[in-house]
Structure 1
Amino acid sequence: MTTSLLKPVATPAAARKETSSRYDNGRFYNLDPTEKVPHQLWKIFKALLFGNYPRRVPDKYIPIQTLTAAILDNLAEDAAVAYRLGHSSLLLKLDGHFWLTDPVFSERASPVQFLGSRRFHQPPISVSELPPIKAVILSHNHYDHLDKHTILQLADKVEYFVTPVGVGLDLQKWGIDPVCIIECDWWQSIRIGETEFTATPAQHFSGRSLGDRDGTLWCSWVIKGQQKKLFFSGDSGYFSGFKHIGQEYGPFDITFIETGAYSDLWPDVHMTPEQSVQAHIDLRGKGMVPIHNGTFSLSFHPWDEPFERVSKAAQEQQVTLHTPLIGAPLDLDEPGETEAWWRLE
């Protein structure tokens, strides 16, 4: 279903859930049965308390490239550029507008700022220096993707917030004008200006507390501009849906694929780097950018392991991999070569 109207869905939030293809008996479901992380909580706590997992955080400051308002103001109107701001936060210039995915500018990906995973680096640009944002594109409501403090800081700069079903209600509770919120179910498309966004499946889960598990939908996004077609994975385990999305919407100029925070304790909801490369192949992508890494420690692997493993897998599979420095521009017309910046000296 494709919708071109730039207005919020008039149906109340509870009713929107009820009409979703993925909602049943008070919760949302994946296409395939998955073992959710809460079922492994005791094993996870034991691993955190008694496990020995070295190098989960860098022992030096990691390099970033400062991004400024002046740099963004000087971009050509028709520029097609992507900037990694950290983790899964991307700033895109496409079709004459700026777009943000899963923006997290806070110090910690956590319900509170005195506890939880702390950033390895500061954002390459402050919220105050960001240009007007046509839309913020959200994949789900986990704290490392939906940050209340950042959303409220951005509110006056953003024309639309585009979310999976149910996530818009969180934004409304925080004071975001409902007129600015557009919710999508899987396979539903909306058009903002000349750019089309389609919410596509992901294999994950949602929740911001132990009491709201799977109460809102999660998704990936197809971003179809006038000249470029991009894929943003959000969070996902590896599943057959990538091939389906590739058949329906591929090929993609660039895929931004989750590559980090994987573990044997939650194999269904996060991909290994090798699976991330396979997802890119399934999607029929031309170039791949590994995201969901390099900013927060959310698993037990060394902080730089995702980069090393995805680089090796991409080489073996003859996949074109782009690993831009945080804050550096990635020209979507001519991405060019990027360096292995994580190999600290």
Structure 2
Amino acid sequence: MNIQKLPWAGIRIETGDIAIVIDPIARILEEFGGAREPMYPISNFGKADALLITHLHEDHFDPAAIIEAYGAAIPIYVAAGLEDAVRAAGLTNVIGVAVHSTFELSRDVKVTALPSVDGLGDIQVAWFVEGAGRKVIHCGDTLWHGYWWSFAQNYGPFDAACLPVNGAVLELPGMIPTGQPICLTPEQAIAAATVLGAKTLVPIHYGTMQYPPIYNETPNIAARLAAASEVQLNVSMIKTMEKITL
């Protein structure tokens, strides 16, 4: 199984003949200052047999870019309850998946929707992918929550956990500022990966956006990940376009 890093929080998983793309985007909105890393057409990363979307925030769901790369009929899996919104964006082959439900993409590749906690209270799922004897989980832009232990008990240990690490603090118009992160901090990501029994942490959701006071990324991410990591946990900070093999 190969994992390729896409911009921001996106990844592409190759397992056997199946290619799965999670949360691909081709732009960061100017309202958030634009992108601080190169952005690419999604098609640059190769074919996709299925798309998995963790939630519909615009930095995780880019329908125009998806349609341009794969066409409107690409199978796209979302959390149950989001189907109409995704169809309204122009996608035609939309499958809603209930939390804890599993579906097969081939005889050897299974995907399960797991619970996740969104920093703004919107519907979100984590995606657990099994294939070629390997297990990968992608958690969107999750907060710290209490599901990690049940994930480990029921689905783990994991070969790789793709977790947000930038502990972003938002000050959005109309919302009372709290100073609290809306996704995992570096230390929380290490803790979550450790509970999950992950061999490798693939950090996502960092380095692309910084637009104070609206969007504030936590500082010193790489150093803090290194300081917090256990010896048995490999932290693989792959750059966009790079791949690792599990």
TM-score, normalization by structure 2: 0.86
1:325 aligned partner, one-letter code: K
Equivalent residue for 1:133, pick from 48, 52, 58: 48
Q: Are residues 1:290 and 2:203 paired?
A: yes
Contact kept, 8 Å, 1:134 with 1:158, in 2: the verdict is no
Q: Are residues 1:169 and 2:84 paired?
A: yes
Change (3 A) 1:184 1:102: same
The aligned length equals 234
* Percent of paired sites with the same residue: 20
State the Cα distance separating 1:149 from its structure 2 match: 2.2
Name the structure 2 match of 1:280.
193
2:245 and 2:233 map into 1 onto residues whose CA distance is 18
Name the structure 1 match of 2:12.
91
1:314 and 1:83 map into 2 onto residues whose CA distance is 22
2:138 aligned partner, one-letter code: F
Name the structure 2 match of 1:59.
none
State the Cα distance separating 1:98 from its structure 2 match: 1.4
Deviations 1:90-130 (A, max 9, x none): 12211212111101112x2x3xxx4323111223x533434
Name the structure 2 match of 1:320.
234
Name the structure 2 match of 1:4.
none
2:3 aligned partner, one-letter code: A
Which ranges in structure 1 are unaligned for 5 or more consecutive residues? 1-79, 207-212, 333-345
1:96 and 1:276 map into 2 onto residues whose CA distance is 31
State the Cα distance separating 1:327 from its structure 2 match: 1.2
Equivalent residue for 1:310, pick from 209, 213, 225: 225
Q: Are residues 1:251 and 2:167 paired?
A: no
RMSD across aligned C-alpha pairs, in angstroms? Answer: 2.1
Higher helix share: 1
State the Cα distance separating 1:318 from its structure 2 match: 4.4
Contact kept, 8 Å, 1:86 with 1:294, in 2: the verdict is no
1:202 aligned partner, one-letter code: S
2:74 alignment partner, SS class: strand
Change (3 A) 1:158 1:294: farther
1:127 and 1:202 map into 2 onto residues whose CA distance is 25
Deviations 1:125-151 (A, max 9, x none): 533434331111100111111123222
Report which of the two structures shows the higher radius of gyration computed on alpha carbons. Answer: 1
Contact kept, 8 Å, 2:63 with 2:90, in 1: the verdict is no
1:158 and 1:328 map into 2 onto residues whose CA distance is 28
Which ranges in structure 2 are unaligned for 5 or more consecutive residues? 170-177
Change (3 A) 1:232 1:158: farther
2:72 and 2:46 map into 1 onto residues whose CA distance is 7
1:118 alignment partner, SS class: coil
State the Cα distance separating 1:205 from its structure 2 match: 5.0
Contact kept, 8 Å, 2:54 with 2:126, in 1: the verdict is yes
1:255 and 1:134 map into 2 onto residues whose CA distance is 21
State the Cα distance separating 1:158 from its structure 2 match: 6.4
- Give 1:125-204 correspondences, 5 Å limit: 125-156=40-71, 159-177=74-92, 180-193=93-106, 194-204=108-118
2:4 aligned partner, one-letter code: Y
2:78 and 2:167 map into 1 onto residues whose CA distance is 23
2:35 aligned partner, one-letter code: R
1:296 alignment partner, SS class: coil
Contact kept, 8 Å, 2:48 with 2:70, in 1: the verdict is no
Change (3 A) 1:286 1:318: closer
Equivalent residue for 2:130, pick from 221, 224, 243: 224
